[in-house]
């Protein structure tokens, strides 16, 4: 590595290493959340969120920001929009189960269509269930982080629309990395957070929704005080403020992170993340590792990898931490069977290469197990060869184009 390493490289799906200008933004001057300064800040964030989601008819949508993690945004939706209606939760992992638990707490008419963790959603089963049962609302997770599975929101959205059901999407770990077409997917409300692919600090979440659906919430009795979604909408719609005292420094950081994405270009951002994920995955495959799910089902932010049977995950993570690398362990039924590697936030190709080199050494340290060597004509810098063979030049950012040229 030519550049100085960060204290910790967060190869996780969140929180992530943030850009220098995001670090600086959080230190901006103090303002009052009931003054015009905050009004402008909140309006700026809302406009940028709607651009991030590439909404064509912006006047038909609003975005509210909540001081709280992505779970707060999900609970705000699930406690506010259902009322006495019937909601179906689609689950194929930990975060689908979390939606279920939240909905059951607030809504007596909560139903579940469950698939195994890491299993694809069966669209035929979903269609059959919706045809057989009277369901008013369908809710699901876009990127199921426990496995890395990217679920098909466009197809489920079409099934929901065909039966007249409202469609709700948990986009907490996919917004900012994967296209979420609110209009095309018939999404009424979508949640997300600041600290994952958007690459800001933890502590803020948001809900993007159709204005007409926000308006309907006025007639549904509130089940919470702080997370009353209609109240958030009412405040931003009337006075461009939040109902309660917000974490203002985090709002500044979120605004800067959104500026970074929009300046880069949303589609370019998505391509850049896919390039990093492809390089990371190629490197791990060449080390002889195997993935939990098929690459075609993966989100571009995270890879779930089987840990070799002779390796203790805790010791494995500790050895990587000694090299300033932080990774995730598996949860639930995947505990002690997999580890997870994220590629979002301020992680460069250099740092991904550093991770792969470190990973090779750590794997070899366990009983000197033989691992495959990364395929490259340039052992000193396999990144160059990889980019030349696998990535179209026009999809690269300027720095990567210089690497290819050299």
CATH of the domain at 284: 3.90.1150.10
The pLDDT of residue 387 is: 60
Residue 296 lies in a domain: yes
The total number of structural domains in the chain stands at 2
Asked if residue 373 has pLDDT above 80, the reply is no
Asked if residue 374 has pLDDT above 90, the reply is no
Please state the pTM of the whole predicted model.
Answer: 0.90
- If asked whether residues 46 and 124 sit together in one domain, one would say yes
For 228, the domain range is 31-263
How far apart CA 383 and CA 404 sit, in angstroms, is: 9
The pLDDT of residue 129 is: 98
Asked if residue 24 has pLDDT above 60, the reply is yes
| 183 φ/ψ angles, rounded to the nearest 5 degrees | -75, -50
Average pLDDT for residues 234-262, to the nearest whole number?
97
Identify which of 130, 127, 136, 194 has the alpha carbon closest to the alpha carbon of residue 168: 136
Residue 151 lies in a domain: yes
- If asked whether residues 136 and 220 sit together in one domain, one would say yes
Check the CA dihedral 394-16-173-82 and report its sign: negative
- If asked whether residues 240 and 341 sit together in one domain, one would say no
Question: Within its chain, how far is the Cα of 358 from the centroid?
Answer: 26
Residue 23 lies in a domain: no
Asked if residue 372 has pLDDT above 80, the reply is no
Tens of pLDDT along 25-34? 999 999 999 9
Asked if residue 247 has pLDDT above 80, the reply is yes
Tens of pLDDT along 141-159? 999 999 999 999 999 999 9
Residue 22 lies in a domain: no
Residue 3 lies in a domain: no
Residue 141 lies in a domain: yes
Average pLDDT for residues 19-23, to the nearest whole number?
97
- If asked whether residues 219 and 328 sit together in one domain, one would say no
Question: Mean pLDDT score of the chain, rounded to an integer?
Answer: 92
The pLDDT of residue 405 is: 46
pLDDT grade for 391, boundaries at 50, 70 and 90 = low
The pLDDT of residue 393 is: 55
- If asked whether residues 156 and 257 sit together in one domain, one would say yes
The pLDDT of residue 7 is: 80
- Point out the domain boundary residue: 243, 263, 283: 263
- Point out the domain boundary residue: 216, 238, 263: 263
The pLDDT of residue 375 is: 39
- If asked whether residues 270 and 190 sit together in one domain, one would say no
- If asked whether residues 171 and 125 sit together in one domain, one would say yes
- If asked whether residues 259 and 390 sit together in one domain, one would say no
Tens of pLDDT along 265-281? 999 999 999 999 999 99
Residue 21 lies in a domain: no
In the chain, % of residues over pLDDT 70: 89
pLDDT grade for 176, boundaries at 50, 70 and 90 = very high
- Point out the domain boundary residue: 238, 263, 288: 263
Tens of pLDDT along 309-362? 999 999 999 999 999 999 999 999 999 999 999 999 999 999 999 999 999 999
- If asked whether residues 206 and 331 sit together in one domain, one would say no
């Amino acid at each position: 590595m030519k550049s100085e390493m960060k204290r910790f490289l967060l190869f996780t799906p969140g929180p992530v290493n943030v850009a220098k200008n995001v670090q600086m933004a959080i230190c901006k001057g103090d303002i009052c959340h009931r003054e015009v300064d905050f009004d402008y800040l909140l309006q700026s964030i809302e406009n940028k969120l709607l651009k991030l989601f590439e909404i064509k008819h912006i006047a038909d949508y609003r975005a509210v920001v909540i001081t709280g993690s992505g779970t707060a945004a999900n609970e705000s939706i699930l406690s506010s929009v259902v009322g006495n209606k019937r909601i179906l939760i689609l689950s194929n992992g930990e975060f689908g189960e979390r939606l279920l638990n939240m909905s059951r707490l607030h809504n007596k008419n909560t139903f579940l269509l469950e698939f195994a963790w890491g299993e694809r959603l069966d669209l035929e089963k979903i269609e059959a269930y919706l045809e057989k049962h009277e369901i008013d609302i369908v809710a699901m997770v876009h990127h199921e982080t426990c496995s890395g599975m990217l679920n098909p929101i466009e197809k489920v959205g079409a099934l929901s629309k065909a039966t007249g059901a409202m469609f709700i999407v948990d986009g907490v770990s996919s917004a900012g990395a994967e296209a979420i077409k609110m209009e095309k997917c018939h999404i009424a409300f979508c949640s997300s957070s600041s600290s994952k692919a958007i690459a800001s600090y933890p502590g803020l979440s948001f809900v993007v929704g159709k204005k007409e659906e926000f308006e309907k919430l006025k007639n549904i009795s509130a089940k919470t005080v702080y997370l009353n979604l209609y109240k958030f909408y009412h405040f931003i719609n009337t006075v461009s403020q939040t109902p309660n005292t917000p974490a203002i420094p985090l709002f500044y950081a979120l605004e800067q992170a959104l500026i970074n994405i929009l300046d880069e270009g949303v589609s370019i951002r998505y391509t850049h993340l896919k390039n990093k994920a492809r390089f990371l995955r190629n490197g791990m495959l060449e080390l002889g590792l195997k993935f939990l799910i098929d690459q075609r089902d993966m989100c571009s932010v995270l890879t779930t990898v089987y840990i070799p049977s002779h390796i203790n995950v805790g010791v494995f993570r500790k050895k990587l931490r000694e090299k300033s690398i932080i990774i995730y362990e598996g949860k639930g039924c995947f505990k002690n069977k997999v580890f997870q590697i994220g590629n979002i936030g301020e992680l460069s190709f250099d740092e991904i290469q550093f991770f792969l080199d470190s990973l090779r050494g750590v794997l070899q340290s366990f009983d000197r197990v033989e691992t495959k060597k990364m395929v490259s004509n340039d052992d000193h810098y396999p990144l160059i060869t990889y980019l030349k063979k696998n990535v179209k030049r026009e999809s690269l950012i300027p720095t990567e184009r210089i690497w290819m040229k050299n």
